[in-house]
Amino acid sequence: MQKKFSRTRSLKYRIINIKTGALKPKTAILIIYSGGTIGMVGDSSGSLVALKFNQIMQQLPSLNTLNVKITVISFPVPMDSSNMTYQNWIDIGYIIYENYHNYDGFVVLQGTDTMAYSASALSFILEGLNKPVVFIGAQLPISAIRSDARPNLITAIEIAAKKNGDDPVVPEVSIYFDYQLLRGNRAMKIRSSQFGAFESENYPLLARIGISIDFNYPVIRKCVRDQQLVFHETYDPNVVIIKLFPSITRQAVEHILEIQGLKGVVMETYGSGNAPTDEWFIGTLQKAISRGIIILNVSQCIGGKVIHGRYATSKLLQDIGVISGWNITTEAAITKLMFVLGQTTDKEKIKDLLSSSLSGEMDISA
């Protein structure tokens, strides 16, 4: 059957209840399929087509061993994750928000290329989240002989359903891939041709999966009972990323910072937040900041953090009002910047929110 949600886009989502062997399931899990390799199967001609989820038991008969009620909501047309926009993040967030009290956990299937962006965005969109939202994808389609889709999906459902008494074990947005569970807004895709596609260099794994699922309880966000979920649907996409490189030209920097309607910049600097000290460069940034453009400094390194003032090259950035992103990833930084700009136009409030950890996306320390 089809159901029309009340969002202004009024997309029609396909809803499928999966019949498993569970007679009296203890938990209920909602799978949200937006697209990606994980939901593809080969047709008679050998081409890849989207899986019909009412036939998923043919691909995953082991679902019968889970004492879980499973429902699938599919996007009207499966998307390549390269086509994802902030509107799609909001759509996923709204589906979770509308169904929040009917399910114990949520599993989101999407392509891996922009998964870290989506997981980061959802961690901000769903304020007060107190249930698992596990993102998964696959490097090979579910019908492939050596597909990672099957173990990824089974394990993600297990993690989303796992409880400690009445409380969920992982009440936050996460990414499960290649036997590792990562905090969603700490993950980065760093490989495209191996099963181990994601890493979380600046934050410990939430769990390692082997014969058993070994949860790293001290680093998982705590469950806060009776916490109210707040759904934020306002994002501002008027942002850019500037990746510094040796010999970057004045014309390039000025052209980017003079984009009409630009409100925020994530600037990828060297090492611990260092940038050129050329007068033209610092002056160009200063002029942009004086026009109200927010500049957030993140490191190009996958590990480590921005430390303003550690070297003279970053002290100048601090002096002109560039905001330190500490050890936030670029994926979390750009989605957070869009989120914060969508919540307020007060510059001091924006700076305060960007300098604070909103959902565990960064560590703030001297």
Q: Is 160 left (phi over 0), alpha (psi -120 to 50) or beta?
A: alpha
Alpha-carbon distances, residue 334 vs 109, 239, 353 (angstroms):
22, 8, 13
Token code pair at residue 220? 């998982």
Q: What is the DSSP annotation of 226-267?
A: TPPPEE-------EEEEE--TT--HHHHHHHHT-TT--EEEE
Token code pair at residue 337? 């910047």
Question: Could you tell me how many helices (H) and strands (E) the chain has, helices first?
Answer: 9, 22
CA atoms in the 13 A half-sphere facing the CB of 308: 18
Instruction: Output the 3-class SS for 279-318.
Output: HHHHHHHHHHHHCCCEEEEEECCCCCCCCCCCCHHHHHHH
- Annotated active-site residue 37? The verdict is yes
Distant-in-sequence, close-in-space partners of 133: CB < 8 Å, separation ≥ 6: 96, 105, 106, 107, 108, 122, 126, 160, 172, 173, 174, 184
Query: Which one, of 224, 215, 222, 188, lies nearest residue 303 by Cα?
Result: 188
Tell me the torsion sign for CA atoms 22, 25, 26, 31: positive
Name the 3-class secondary structure at 67: coil
The residue annotated as part of the active site, out of 20, 27, 37, 330, is: 37
Cα–Cα–Cα angle for 81, 182, 89, rounded to 5 degrees: 35
Beta bridge partners of residue 15, listed in sequence order: 73
Q: Which residues are catalytic?
A: 37
